[in-house]
Amino acid sequence: MKIGIIGYGKMGKAVEKIAVQRGHSISFKTNNCNLNLIKDVDVTIEFSTPESAFTNIKNCLDSNVPVVTGTTGWLDDLEDIKKLCDKKNGSFLYASNFSLGANLFFELNKKLAHLMSDKNEYKTSIDETHHIHKVDKPSGTAITLADDIISNSRYKNWKLDSNSKVIININSNREKEINGVHKVVYSSENDIISIKHEALNRNGFALGAVISAEWLVNKKGCFSISDMLIMG
């Protein structure tokens, strides 16, 4: 399979390594998406910046090239991308986190939120820590965790650095070269319940992205990594 990599930073380089190990060829790797580059690839994997993600994805869909993206911080434009994908009969897959362990953590988070939904004595918060180069706050993974809690509890919204008892507080930290730590906390006057996921390196993210790209080729529609895990 011929793969184009859009966003050749640390994640892009990790994707390249995993893709080559799995027998794929890299047709191009760039930080600036060019329509001429996209023409001769089977699929693109996009890990760029919040500012460039929409244009990169749009260019892929306009060129009828399947695109997998893990860029976060641009989700205000997600519905427009889904509409374009439907209009073009394209292939698009977005995930806030491609790690298998993180996606198991998402499922655990949903179940715990459901169990805690009527325990009003507990206040829910999320702590996330990433490397100093990550520009968006909170992380896409933290937003996914918060949205899943909202879907399974009394909470209606989340907010950065909130002290409200009716809003999920998200604490975002940027430290050194940390790959990603997410912790969901339920605290009361008497005890604390918490679950945590920590990424030790970028390999899990890269592997998930490449497997998603392998899965997406020859499919049409807008997908999530949950679709891939369920549909197989």
Q: Would you name the residues annotated as active-site residues?
A: 130, 134
**CA-based end-to-end distance of the chain:** 19
Of 19, 58, 11, which is closest to residue 35 (Cα–Cα)?
58
DSSP state, residue 122: P
Secondary-structure breakdown of the chain: helix, strand, coil percentages, each rounded to the nearest 5: 40, 25, 35
Report whether 127 contacts 230 (CB < 8 A): no
Report whether 16 contacts 57 (CB < 8 A): no
What own/partner pairs with CB < 8 Å and gap ≥ 24 does 217-221 have? Answer: 217/1, 217/42, 217/43, 217/66, 217/91, 219/66, 219/91, 220/89, 220/90, 220/91, 221/85, 221/86, 221/91, 221/92
Alpha-carbon span 174 to 14, nearest angstrom: 21
Q: Is the peptide bond before 50 cis (omega within 30 degrees of 0)?
A: no
* 170 sits in which H/E element: strand 168-174
Of 146, 142, 159, which is closest to residue 197 (Cα–Cα)?
142
> Phi and psi at residue 158, in whole multiples of 5°?
-125, 160
